[in-house]
Structure 1
Amino acid sequence: MKWVPPDAVSAKALAAYRNRRARWIADPVAAESDALSIALHPPSEVRVADDPDAAVAWVREWHRYSGPGRVDWESRRWRDFGTQQVPVRLVLSSASEIAAAAGRASEWALLGMRQRRLVTGLGPGTPTLAAAVASTHTRWMDLEEQDFATLVAVVRWLADHPASGMFIRQLPVPGVDTKWVSRHRGLVETLLDGVRGDRDLGVRSLPRMCEVAVCDRSLLPAAPRIFATPLAELAALPLHPAITLVLENKEGLHALPDLASTVALHGAGYSVHELADVPWLAASDVVYWGDLDTHGFAILDRFRRHLPNVRSLLMDPVTVENWRHLGVPEPTPNSNVPEHLTESERAAFDLVRAENLRIEQERLPWPYVLDRLPGDGSQFSV
C-alpha cells in the first residue's frame, strides 16, 4: 500500500467526520474523547530502495506537518539504510481535531453552538431529546440564523402550549406563518417529540374546502349554483341527488351545464376518498371523471376502494384513441398498478401507461363531453 502523504489526511478525516457527526451531536462530552487513528503506511526497505528520493521527501513532508493531531514516529532498522525514524500514524484525539483535519472546523463549531442552543432552549425534555436533535442536524444546521431562532422559539412555544387550538398564523412567535410551518413541519414535529414525547402540534388546520356545483338548482334552491364548503359542512347539506359527479379538476366543474338531479364536486386529487364519508353522496349514483393518465386511474382506484360502486366517465380506451393527439407526455407517472379497475378502464390505463400519455379532462372537446354526461348510464365504463 502506498504511504499516506499529509494532503490525503483530509479525505480520511472527512469520511470519519460524516460518519460520526450525528453521534457526536447526541453526546458532545463523548465527542471530545473520540479519536481517529490514520495509518500512514511507511514504506518498506524494498520500496525505499526503489525510490529513495520519494521516500525522503515523504518523511520531510511529515516533519513539516503542522495540522491538527499527533504524528507518531517509530524506528526502522534497515540493512542498507541503517536506523531511520518514520511516521507511522496520525492520531486525531477529539471531534474538534477530526473536524479540523476534515476542513470542517467552522461547521463543527456551528453545530456545537446550535446543539447547545437547542438543548438549552428546549430542555429539559425527554430522554430522547438528544437523539432528536442529532437525527435532525442536517436540517437545522443549514437554516439561516433567523429561521434557526424561529425554530427554537416555535418548538418551545408548542411544548409549553400542547393544545392551543390556534391556527398556525395565530401563534405569537415572530416570523411564523403557514408556509414556514409547512416547510419545517417534520423538523418541528421530531424536536417536539423529543421535548414532550409526542408530535402533535396542538394547532388547528384550515379545513379542506370542497367546491360544489348544484347542476339541478331545485336540489338546493337557496344556495349559489357553485360554492365552496368545508367537508364537514358538505356532509350536512340537505342534498339528495340521484347522481353525484366527481371531477378531478376545477375547470370542468365550472363549465358543467344544468343536469337533472345532479350535483358535481371537485375531488381534490388523491383526497377524493374523503368524499366517501358524505352520506348523501354515498347514497347516490357516484360517477368519477378524471384525467386520462396514470394518476387519474390511481385516483379512481383509491375512490373505488372506499366506494366500490363508483363508475367512471370518459376513462375508456375509445376516448384515449379518439383524442390521443390532444395529450402530452406525463412528467411523473404513478408507478403503482391500480387493482380496482373495470376491464374497459384497465385497457385505457394500459394505453396511457404504455405511451406515457396524459390527456387532461379539460382538453377533451366540449361537445364530445356534453354528449356523454350522466344520463341513462350507457356512457359509463363498466
Structure 2
Amino acid sequence: MTPDAWSRPEDVVETLRRKWAGGRYLTDAAHGYPFEPIAVSLKGPTASDALHHYEQALAWSQSWAPSLHPQLRLQTKSIGGRNGLPSHTVPARAWVETRPALWALLGVTAQVDHFHSLCERTALHGSGLVDWMADHPMKVLPHAELWHQLVRTVCWIRDHTTKQVYLREIDVPGVDTKFIESHKAILAELLDHTLPKDRIDTDAPKSDLATRYGFRTKPIYIRLRYLGASPLPFSELTVRADELARWSPAVRTVFVLENEITYLSLPPVADAIAILGSGYAAALLRHLPWLDNVALYYWGDIDTHGFAILDQVRGRFPHTTSILMDRTTLLAHEAHWSQEKTQAHGNLTRLTPEEAHLDQDLRNATYGPHLRLEQERIAFATVRETLMRQQG
C-alpha cells in the first residue's frame, strides 16, 4: 500500500461527516438514546511499508499524536517483529467516545445546541412536531432561522377552519404569501404530519398547498365573446366558472379555441359565442353543464397536443365536433408548418377515425418530425368560410 492510501485524520472527519449528514447522530441524540462509541478503522503502513517508506511512515504516525486530536481515542497495533523486520506501534482505529467529542470534532456544537433549543420551543406549541423534528433533523437545520415562523404557521392552520380562507389570510407575524410560497415544501411535510387525515387531500400535490389543505383556491375564470347580437350591454365577458355554470348565455352554438387573437377576430356568427380555452379547454368546459345542449365546436392547433385536448373535451362532452383540424387544412397550409417542442403522450380514445389517423401521422412524422399547424396561421378566408358553413 502506498503512503497516499494511508488514512489521514481528515479522512476520519469526512467519514463521520457523511454519517452526520444522514441525520442519524442527531436523531439518536434528539430521542435521548445512549451514545454508542464510534470506531473508524485506519489504513496504515504494513511492516514492509514502514521499512521502505520509513520517513513517511514516521510522519504518518506522528500526525495521529493524541495531543493533536483530543476528541479521538486511538487504538494501536504492532506491525513487524518477524522475518527480521523491526517492530512498530501504529494507530489502527480511531474512537469517538462521547457526543460532545463528536460534535466538537465535526464543528457542529452550535448547530446541535440550536437544534435542541428549537425542539424545546416547538414543544411549547403542543403541535406534535418534536418527534418529526427528531426523525428529520437535517430538514430542520436548513430552516433553523425561520423555524418558529414555520411552526406558528402550521399551528395557525391546525387551529382554524380553512374552507372559506385564502392562504393570504393566514395571520402569523412575519408570514405572508411570499413566505408560504418560498417554503411550501417544508410546510407540506409539517402539515402532513400535524393535520388529521380528513383535512388532507392526498390527491393534490404537495406543491398545491391551498388545494391539499382545504383553503379557498383562486377562482377559475372563463372568457367568452358573443359572435352575434348580444342580449347584454357587453359583447365580451370574463366570468367566474362557478357563476357561469349557473347562467347560460342562451345561444345555440359555442366555438372553443385556443389562440387569443384568433378568438378576437372571429367573424360574426348568429346565435353563437366563442370561448377562449388558452390550452386548458377541458378543465374550463367541465364547469359548464349547459354545453350539453348546444352545438359545441373545438378548434385547436393541428398537432399532438391539439388532438389530446380535443380528446379530453370529448371525455365530458362527447358531442363535440372539431373544426379546421383535418388533413385538408394541414396540407393546404404547408408554407405555415412549424414544429412542436415536445409531443403529447397518452392513448387517445375519443377521436374520430379521420382525426386519429392524422394524429398518428403526426406522431409517425409522416410529413415531417414534430409537425404542427398553429390555428393563427390558417388563412382567414378559410376560417370565415368554415364558420359560415357551420352556421348554415
What interval of TM-score do these two structures reach, taking the shorter chain for normalisation? 0.7 to 0.9
Aligned with residue 280 of structure 1, among 259, 270, 290: 290
Judge conservation of contact 2:362–2:370 (CA < 8 Å) in 1: yes
**Secondary structure of the residue that 1:193 maps to in structure 2?**
helix
* Distance in 2 of aligned mates of 1:336 and 1:298: 8
Partner of residue 238, structure 1: 248
* Distance in 2 of aligned mates of 1:313 and 1:288: 6
Partner of residue 217, structure 1: 229
* Distance in 1 of aligned mates of 2:28 and 2:244: 48
* Distance in 2 of aligned mates of 1:183 and 1:346: 43
Q: Deviation of residue 59 (structure 1)?
A: 1.7
> Which range is displaced more, 279-288 or 4-13?
4-13
> Which range is displaced more, 92-101 or 65-74?
92-101
Q: Deviation of residue 233 (structure 1)?
A: 1.0
Judge conservation of contact 1:72–1:89 (CA < 8 Å) in 2: yes
* Distance in 1 of aligned mates of 2:117 and 2:375: 50
**Secondary structure of the residue that 2:150 maps to in structure 1?**
helix
Mark the CA change 1:90 to 1:196 in structure 2 (over 3 Å): closer, same or farther: same
Judge conservation of contact 1:32–1:96 (CA < 8 Å) in 2: no
Partner of residue 206, structure 2: none
Aligned with residue 87 of structure 1, among 88, 91, 109: 91
Mark the CA change 1:77 to 1:238 in structure 2 (over 3 Å): closer, same or farther: closer
CA deviation profile, 1:252-292 (whole Å, cap 9, x unmatched): 32232322232222235346245234221122232222234
Partner of residue 228, structure 1: 238
Partner of residue 196, structure 1: 195
CA deviation profile, 1:83-126 (whole Å, cap 9, x unmatched): 422222233457776676667x3895497268527733653337
Mark the CA change 1:211 to 1:144 in structure 2 (over 3 Å): closer, same or farther: farther
Pairwise mapping of residues 4-23 of structure 1 onto structure 2 (< 5 A)? 4-18=7-21, 20-21=22-23
Q: What are structure 1's unaligned runs of at least 5 residues? A: none
Pairwise mapping of residues 15-54 of structure 1 onto structure 2 (< 5 A)? 15-18=18-21, 20-21=22-23, 24-25=26-27, 28-30=30-32, 33=35, 36-54=38-56
CA deviation profile, 1:149-172 (whole Å, cap 9, x unmatched): 543332221112133622232332
* Distance in 1 of aligned mates of 2:314 and 2:138: 42
**Secondary structure of the residue that 1:217 maps to in structure 2?**
coil
Partner of residue 130, structure 1: 131
**What amino acid is the match of 2:297?**
V
**What amino acid is the match of 2:222?**
C
Pairwise mapping of residues 157-196 of structure 1 onto structure 2 (< 5 A)? 157-163=156-162, 165-196=164-195
Partner of residue 152, structure 1: 151
CA deviation profile, 1:49-101 (whole Å, cap 9, x unmatched): 44333333322222278458424222214224444222222334577766766
Judge conservation of contact 1:38–1:90 (CA < 8 Å) in 2: yes
> Which range is displaced more, 360-369 or 62-71?
62-71
* Distance in 2 of aligned mates of 1:41 and 1:179: 51
Mark the CA change 1:23 to 1:40 in structure 2 (over 3 Å): closer, same or farther: closer
Q: Deviation of residue 297 (structure 1)?
A: 2.9
Judge conservation of contact 2:19–2:25 (CA < 8 Å) in 1: no
Judge conservation of contact 2:100–2:109 (CA < 8 Å) in 1: no
CA deviation profile, 1:17-45 (whole Å, cap 9, x unmatched): 33x22784586235783664322123332
Partner of residue 356, structure 1: 370
Judge conservation of contact 2:26–2:112 (CA < 8 Å) in 1: no
**What amino acid is the match of 2:318?**
P
TM-score, normalising length: structure 1: 0.78
Partner of residue 346, structure 1: 356
Identity of aligned residues (%): 26
Mark the CA change 1:280 to 1:150 in structure 2 (over 3 Å): closer, same or farther: same
Mark the CA change 1:26 to 1:368 in structure 2 (over 3 Å): closer, same or farther: farther
Partner of residue 372, structure 1: 386
Partner of residue 289, structure 1: 299
Judge conservation of contact 2:224–2:276 (CA < 8 Å) in 1: yes
Count of residues in Structure 1 that have an aligned counterpart in Structure 2: 370
Mark the CA change 1:360 to 1:124 in structure 2 (over 3 Å): closer, same or farther: same
* Distance in 2 of aligned mates of 1:67 and 1:328: 68
Is structure 2 residue 80 aligned with structure 1 residue 70? Answer: no
**Higher RCO (CA 8 Å, separation ≥ 6 residues):** 1
TM-score, normalising length: structure 2: 0.76
Q: Deviation of residue 210 (structure 1)?
A: 1.0
Partner of residue 207, structure 2: none
Mark the CA change 1:275 to 1:12 in structure 2 (over 3 Å): closer, same or farther: same
* Distance in 1 of aligned mates of 2:110 and 2:323: 57
Judge conservation of contact 1:326–1:363 (CA < 8 Å) in 2: yes
CA deviation profile, 1:122-151 (whole Å, cap 9, x unmatched): 53337xx6337855954x654594x65543
> Which range is displaced more, 50-59 or 89-98?
89-98
Is structure 2 residue 208 aligned with structure 1 residue 207? Answer: no
Partner of residue 119, structure 1: 122
Judge conservation of contact 1:270–1:302 (CA < 8 Å) in 2: no
* Distance in 1 of aligned mates of 2:275 and 2:61: 78
Judge conservation of contact 1:241–1:263 (CA < 8 Å) in 2: yes
